Structure formats: structure tokens, C-alpha cells
Amino acid sequence: MTILDKFKALQGAYDAVQSAGRDPFSVCFDEVLSPSEAVLKGRRVILLGTNNYLGLTFDSGCIDKAVEALVQAGTGTTGSRIANGTYGDHAELERRLAAFYGVRSAMVFSTGYQANLGILSSVAGRGDHILIDADSHASIYDGCRLGNAEVIRFRHNNPDDLARRLSRLKGQPGNRLIVVEGIYSMLGDTAPLKEIAAVKREWNAHLLVDEAHSLGVLGGNGRGLAEQAGVEADVDFTVGTFSKSLGAVGGFCVSNLPDFDVLRIACRPYMFTASLPPSVIASVTQALTRVQEDPGLRTRLSLNAQRFYRGLEAEGFVLGPQVSPIVSIRMPSTEVALAFWNALLEAGIYLNLALPPATPDDVPLLRSSVSAAHSGAQIDTAIATIAAIGRDLGVVTEPPSRRTETAKRQAGLPEGLRQPAHGHRHDRAPVAERTL
């Protein structure tokens, strides 16, 4: 018996995943060529699973600022924010974030994960209650585990269930903190934020919105779902990350609460870790400028998201409930998801494989994230490739319009040359239109 024996079942599941082809959890690019293309084992692939929503990882302005800071200030701060790790540029980025959101204060963390860890574990203490959406990101769950508050899960995107659970706390002392996400990372659906804000007001709770996937994506100014829903005044804490639309790494929390800055000496994941390198701070500050000055990035992203979602929908795939830059295809089983993911990689498309238990309702997903940097041709190639493999594996049948064309073509051929119908090849049982 060794200390790692508890992972035997997990190792077994991982071995099964690896035996199906390439290891989806250790993909290593030879070279990343642009926000939308890379080389993987000598083959060019379209990147369709990167969270690089605005395509800013190769923005020349962001790169120039990062290089400048690297040369001027060195490779790292080698210290935490409360020791030697705060430079003028860290403080300036915090001022910029606070001004962007129109609030008093901002704190920059070394990752988005740590922002959730830090804020949740410190603002809600013993005797308080945190009410989290059941589909919350791991960083939200882990932030709850790090603190001392009671944690209550409510049904995903269900304000009535939230209200019911708050009503059961009536008369109990302590504060209530509701936690939701702007765009949910697995299925791309948004929180019903107007309704959640109304529940928050009714029950005199606090509200934290994690805009990790919605910053730079939603809202007239790119501030996220709360801006789009017109409820920013109801949000007490906005958490975000620099690792998605801003193309770097890091996280933040902004708040209008007058005493927010006390967290700088109370929040352990802020205090006891090294601060972000100056080059990262510089590129993020420039990326924020791009978000503010170039609304065309959001428009392009939105058009690309529409094109990809509608294209896959027309091919008959079962997707998340709404158009969003996160487009996930529901898979009938883990085996099919693995075969699909491997076939896509062979065909030059990289996207994310998301397996239970990390997915809502334990449904395996092929998760894509669209970027403003994708060309229309890349999106169309991806749709056509996904559709062809989907038909091969029996995940979808041919859409009715194309079925007629194929039938006409086939009818003109001698019998021996007619192709078997897609979805019935390779002895795989068709799994089309299975209820998920």
C-alpha cells in the first residue's frame, strides 16, 4: 500500500483515455504560429480550443509593451505584492481596471484561479453562507473549501432555487454571498443575471460575478455580462482573468465596497505568492486598452461565434443552449468523444475534450472556443471537418437538404460504386439523435 494508491482508479481511467489515441491532456505544440494556428507533431492545426477570444496573444502592441517592460524591469518581481512585488505598473493596472469598471478598487492576482481562491476564502468567513451555482468552475469550489463559510449549491441558472435556499436561511446570522459566472465555461451559457440580481436585492445578499469568459466578450464596453444585463450596480465583486480575452496570465477582482483594500492584508492567495512579472502586467494593460479602443474585436468575435454555432447546428449537432464563443458539442459517450477528438486532430483541428465529472450533467463534450482572429475560411473548414467526422462516427446523420443531394448523386452511379450511408461505417452502432 503506497500513499498514491488512492489514485489507482483515476490512473485506470486515464490509461483508457490514452489507449484511444493521443493523450488529450498532454498535447504539446511544436510551434504556435498565430492565435488561430499551430504545428503539432509536424502537422498544421487550426486552434479551436484556446479561450483566446480576441486573438490578442500575438497583438503587436501587447508584444512591444511586454518586451519593453522585460528589458526595463527584468524577468520577474521575485516577491509577493505585500513585499517587493508591487511596481508602479502593477498599481497602474489596478487603477486602470477600477476605472474601466467604474468602481473604487481593484486587486490584481497572479492567476484567475487565485483571484477566486483569495476572494471567496477571505470575504466569506465563519458564520457566513456562500451560495454557488452548481456548475461553478473548480476555482470557485476550491475558494469555498479554503474558507470557513457554509457552502450551499443551487441549481444551475435557477434563480427560483437560489431564492428558495436563501429563504431557508431566514433568521440565521451572518452574511450571504451569491456566486455566479458571466459565461459558463463548459456549455457557453450565460447566467440569468437580472433575475439573480433581483434575488440578491430581495434577500439582502452580496453578489460576486466571475466574468472570466465574458470580459472583452459581452457588454457595450466589453465589461461582461453584468454590463450587458444592466445590473453592474448590484455586483459587489467582479472577478476576471487575464488568461482569456486579454491573452496573458493573471487575475483580478474589482469592487466598489469602501473597505475592499483591507483584503490586501487578509487574502492569503494574494499575500503569499509572487506577483506577476512586469512584462505580463505591461501586455495586459495594453490588451485592456485594445478592449476599450477597438469594439470591432467584439463584433468580429460575435460574428464568428454565430457562424460556427449556426453551422454546427445546421449539421445536426446537439450544442449548448445559446450562441456564444464557447461552442460545445454533446457527445453520446466518452468512447465516441475520444474517437471524435482523435479524428479531429488527425484532420487538423484542435479543440478541447471535456470529460465527466468535469462537465455539466456528466455529458462528455467537444468544447471549442471561437476567436475574433479566426478567418471565415477557418471556421468553415472546422464545421465541414467536424460534420464529416460526426457523420462517420454516427453522431449526426446528414442534414435533410444534403441527404437529397447525396441520394441523387448515388442514384446516378452503378450499384457497386454507391457509398454506404454515413453513420453506418466501421461497424459502429449509430448513435445519432440519442437523447442526452
Ligand X SMILES: Cc1ncc(COP(=O)(O)O)c(C=O)c1O
Annotated active-site residue in 36, 121, 136, 185: 185
Least distance to ligand X, CB of residue 371, Å:
15
Chain contacts with ligand X (rule: CB under 6 A)? 111-113, 116, 137, 139, 181, 185, 210, 212-213, 241, 243, 251
Between 140 and 389, CB nearer to ligand X: 140
Pairing of strands 176-181, 349-350: unpaired
Least distance to ligand X, CB of residue 353, Å:
15
Least distance to ligand X, CB of residue 138, Å:
8
3-state helix, strand, coil in the chain (%, to 5): 45, 15, 40
Between 112 and 332, CB nearer to ligand X: 112
Told to judge if 185 belongs to the known catalytic residues of this protein, a careful annotator would answer yes
Annotated active-site residue in 65, 129, 200, 244: 244
Residues with Cβ within 8 Å of 162's Cβ and at least 6 positions away in sequence, in order, are: 131, 154, 178, 196, 199
Between 55 and 112, CB nearer to ligand X: 112
Least distance to ligand X, CB of residue 210, Å:
5
Between 58 and 141, CB nearer to ligand X: 141
Least distance to ligand X, CB of residue 308, Å:
19
Owner of C-alpha cell 484556446: 50
Annotated active-site residue in 137, 206, 213, 422: 213
Question: Which residue minimizes CB distance to ligand X?
Answer: 112
- Three-point CA angle 167, 172, 175, nearest 5°: 85
Between 215 and 387, CB nearer to ligand X: 215
Contact 241, 181 (CB under 8 A): no
Contact 282, 92 (CB under 8 A): no
Residues with Cβ within 8 Å of 188's Cβ and at least 6 positions away in sequence, in order, are: 213, 320, 322, 324, 325, 326, 327, 328
Least distance to ligand X, CB of residue 72, Å:
25
Q: For residues 386 and 316, what is the distance between their CA atoms, to the nearest angstrom?
A: 11
Contact 350, 36 (CB under 8 A): no
Between 36 and 110, CB nearer to ligand X: 110
Contact 293, 56 (CB under 8 A): no
Sign of the alpha-carbon torsion through 285, 291, 294, 298: positive
User: Could you give the residue numbers annotated as active site?
Assistant: 185, 213, 244
